[in-house]
Chains A and B, each alone.
Chain A
Amino acid sequence: MKEYDIVVIGGGPAGLAAAYSAKENGIDNILIIERDNILGGILNQCIHNGFGLHVFKEELTGPEYAERYANLVEEKNIEYILNSMVLSVDENKVVTVMNEEDGIFEIQAKAVILAMGCRERSRGAINIPGYRPSGVFSAGMVQRLMNMEGYIPGKEVVIFGSGDIGLIMARRMALEGAKVKAVVERKPYSSGLQRNIVQCLDDYDIPLLYQHTVSKVVGKDRMEGVVLSKVDDKKQAIPGTEEFVSCDTLLLSVGLIPENEISRDLGVKMNRKTSGPIVGENLMTNVEGVFACGNVLHVHDLVDHVTMESNIAGKKAAEYIKMNKVDTSGKKIQLIPDKGVSYLVPDHINLSTLSDDVTVRFRVTDVYEGAYVDVNFDDELAIHRKKPFLAPGEMQEIKLKKDYILEHQNTDNITFKVEAK
């Protein structure tokens, strides 16, 4: 059985950054396992720009970001295998892999970094009634079909969900000659980035219908249209507001779900809100030596944040290998999302593993203008930060200084909440 210090599962932006960072931190014996035939993951199909402003200090497209990172990994001689599926990881960190070259084989790892990314929610998950004709696609699937393979699934399109992929695909389809009739959003605000509403919808006169839902898919064989309805405050369709819109294609951009099947089977504990592993400030899960980063941990909006988070996972995994153990005997401070905050990553800080400042990433539950984010160490207000604009679609981050945490060692809970104007 081949042995590696660190096995990274997933060769997308998270896996590449984690591997690169582990290498930079002194570990040579690393393997990245990627299921696709190219490194870079979903970035390869995200041909739009807007990536890399933080990491590369310039604006790149997805494939450029991916290729640059893949080149860095090549330059560092980090080993990787493509077209390879991880079937399981057991509690002894034996990774079972399958590919065409070597069939089914096992690898012994000392540490494992989970970086499998996420998948899209399907029609079933959002429960749209009607027939099941062809023409209903997840937005990401169409992104791959169009951008990598050059196929266009339809000519008249309705998009359900105003997440970034939905907005980006509205523009892509409009540019390729399709008629995008509407983007439909159940909430009173978009879960995508503001700038994408401007440059993907407004530029192409594509209407964005807030507080609407697709209440029915029409057509038995190929889609013939959708019925749209207005929704009430509970996001339920209001009878009598139905409107038929003809279209041959419905794209669903209704959320992403971290792909944690391997993690669950391994016994990694999950956070119900993020659907990702519960991790400490070192991004280690409850299984010693198993780390997680990127969209498998929680869904990000920006690849730059994925890279920065994964740098930490790589570094911490490297420290773990060098020390050959991890001391978790120290005091544990719990991070608690309070009013207006839906989740926090990490879940806790362990004083015996704390070695740097801690970047806490979180999402808010609503749209707020001119609000403050308050961070309390037990009852003591530690941070009171003004945020001109907060929305659930835009992940937030706040850095907790290591020194400040150490000065407040007796703290039991650190609470994050939104103080609305």
Chain B
Amino acid sequence: MEEKNLICISCPIGCHMTVTLDNEEVSKVEGNTCKRGAAYAEKEITNPTRFVTSTVKVKNGQVERVSVKTELDIPKSKIFDVMKEINSVEVSAPVKMGDTIIENVAGTNVNIIATRSVK
């Protein structure tokens, strides 16, 4: 049995949790105030993931960068691979919030989507 302290990042409350590991498997999660905490703890121990937010170059728009995000969380280890791809693309205005900018970014099966509209 092993105990690990985690701070939940699922929402801004940031619950302080204690996770009990049994043979590297999560056997108990304490300190969370919602279901998402337990799910986060499980994931963080076995396969940590993160959302990535950044910007992408835009041509002919009212601004020169459009904000983007990964539509879902991606493996933490892939963050910089994702950034590399984000940095290499350029889109043309108009862009609408929710538009797909990159499909299957860095082989994660996750899309990069625009988080604002650019006229």
Contacts and interface: CB of A to CB of B under 8 A. Distances in A.
Direct contact of A and B (CB under 8 A): yes
Interface of A: 44, 47-50, 53, 59-64, 66-67, 146-150, 175-176, 193-195, 197-199, 203, 301-302, 388-389, 394
Given A47-B115, A193-B14, A199-B50, A61 B69 contact: yes
Given A67-B117, A388-B31, A149 B9 contact: no
A49 to B, nearest CB: 5
B7 A148 contact: no
Given A47-B54, A64-B97, A67-B116, A148 B65 contact: yes
B97 A47 contact: no
B116 A64 contact: yes
A48 B63 CA distance: 18
Contacts of A150: 55, 57, 64-65
A203 B65 contact: no
Contact of A175 (B11, B57, B83): B83
Nearest to A66: B116
Contacts of A149: 63-65
Given A195-B7, A203-B76, A63 B67 contact: yes
A88 to B, nearest CB: 30
A263 B96 CA distance: 37
Nearest to A305: B12
Interface string B77-118: 001000100000000000001000000000000000001110
A36 to B, nearest CB: 12
Contacts of B57: 150
Interface in B28-58: 31, 50-55, 57
B34 to A, nearest CB: 10
B39 to A, nearest CB: 14
Contact of A389 (B16, B64, B83): B16
B74 interface: no
A365 B68 CA distance: 37
A369 B118 CA distance: 45
A48 B65 CA distance: 15
B19 interface: no
B26 interface: no
Given A48-B53, A194-B16, A203-B50, A147 B11 contact: no
14 contacts: A47-B53, A49-B53, A61-B69, A63-B97, A63-B116, A64-B115, A64-B116, A148-B63, A149-B63, A203-B50, A388-B16, A389-B14, A389-B15, A389-B16
